[in-house]
Amino acid sequence: MFPIEELIPKDKFDMEAINKLKMIAPGNFSLQPIIEKLFEWIQDCNWPIAQELCTILALLRPEDIIPQIRMVLNSGDDGWQFSCIYFLIPNLPDEVKKEIGPDILRVFMSPTKNEELCEIDLAAREIYKKYIKKLS
């Protein structure tokens, strides 16, 4: 087993940390102590590790990731919201999608000015209709 700190990417090219995360079966292991740091690495979906990390984060325990997803969706950081909406949420299990459904609904029904300007509301609408609406 690796020290938990080795699971946090050191830079946007740190595939070694990503590979270690894959090896530990993240759904069976609590990454709560480092979850915030892992979510920081999906702030820009253009970073080489971001999209791969989204697929790993989607496997984590719901109680670990739901608060982080909600924090991102309310962060006002349009790049982070975009990454979360397009690359993390589609990979989530249905039970988690259903749980965050109201948060996605808020983004497209009552977007902030910035969410409208950056078209995050449109992204949220698309993902809601494609993945979440059918679960209600």
Q: Quote the percentage of the chain above a pLDDT of 90.
A: 85
The pair of three-digit structure tokens given for residue 125, joined into one six-digit string: 């609408």
For the full predicted model, state whether its pTM sits above 0.85.
Answer: yes
pLDDT in tens, 45-77: 999 999 999 999 999 999 999 999 999 999 999
Q: At what angle do helices 62-73 and 94-109 cross, to 10 degrees?
A: 10
Give the whole-angstrom CA distance, residue 85 versus residue 119.
Answer: 12
Give the whole-angstrom CA distance, residue 97 versus residue 101.
Answer: 6
Query: Pick the residue with more confidence: 115 or 29?
Result: 115
pLDDT in tens, 2-58: 688 999 999 999 999 999 998 887 666 778 899 999 999 999 999 999 999 999 999
